Amino acid sequence: MKINNGIYMLEISVNMMGKPSIINPTVIWDNDSVILIDTGFPGQLPKIREAIEKEGVPFNKLNMVILTHQDIDHVGSISDILKELPNKVKILAHEEEKPFITGEKQPVKLAQLESSLDYLPENMKTVYEKLKAGFQNSRVNVDNTLTDGEELPFCGGITVIHTPGHTPGHICLYLKHWKILIAGDILRVEGGLLIPAVESTNFDRDSNIKSMEKLMKYDIENVICYHGGLYKGNANNDIAELTKNLQKYKI
């Protein structure tokens, strides 16, 4: 789906815990760069390639991947992309997320499952084993680490916003010229409404609330959510209201 000139939201079908769903990586394209933001689950490279080329963007010109965070539905096909386009693609992620992506540290969601492995039902133990294998096969080097407030000189300028909480190094990306927020997993769209991430999926609730507060500083008109797709509405007011509610019910 074309969002604006050179900005495309992909729609990739997935099966999440037995339920059909859609995830939404983003492609940003100009004369010098083709940038993919997040890479889907393991094994989804064919779908990603097809979706990119459907938008008229040459897949073989992909030269950068920005990972918003370490979760398997965001890093799952990165190693396949690197194999497909060897020595062409640079990987960028926040400095706090790097050791989880390279395999120096155990991904937080995997560690949470492992800590309660003895008490998990058999179906969740199967999920754990698949998740573990997926992460092992998705380990890659991070070429450049990102910091909060950094301005990337690509495609008219991309601002990095460190938004920890969902994971320690989660980031959003802000396209100032277009007033577009690429939200990763801090926000999602459900039933046409902009809502926060499911609380149980967050690593640190307090950090997540502070990250929502940080988003209020930006002039945002449209939000691309990895889960739920494009949100067009009064995003600034909605983010402020969501943040207020999270603060109100903070324990």
pLDDT tens digits for range 51-106: 999 999 999 999 999 999 999 999 999 999 999 999 999 999 999 999 999 999 99
| pLDDT score of 72 | 96
pLDDT-based confidence at residue 250 (cuts at 50, 70, 90): low
Phi, psi (deg, nearest 5) at residue 122: -60, -40
Residue 64 in tokens: 């950068």
Continuous segment of H or E residues that includes residue 124: helix 122-137
Percent of the chain at pLDDT exceeding 70: 99
Residue 83 CB burial class (10 angstroms; 0-12, 13-18, ≥19): exposed
pLDDT > 50? residue 251:
no
User: Cβ contacts of residue 46 below 8 Å, gap of 6+?
Assistant: none
Per the confidence metrics, is the pTM higher than 0.75? yes
Paired with 144 in beta bridges are: 92
Question: Can you spell out the DSSP letters for 225-238?
Answer: ETTTEEEES-HHHH
Q: What is the DSSP track for 142-207?
A: -SEEE-TTPEE-STT-EEEEE-TTSSTT-EEEEETTTTEEE-TTSEEEETTEEEEPPGGG-S-HHH
2-248 CATH: 3.60.15.10
Lowest mean per-residue pLDDT among 46-50, 131-135, 212-216, 244-248: 244-248
How confident is the model over 131-143, as pLDDT tens digits?
Answer: 999 999 999 999 9
Q: At what angle do helices 108-115 and 122-137 cross, to 10 degrees?
A: 150
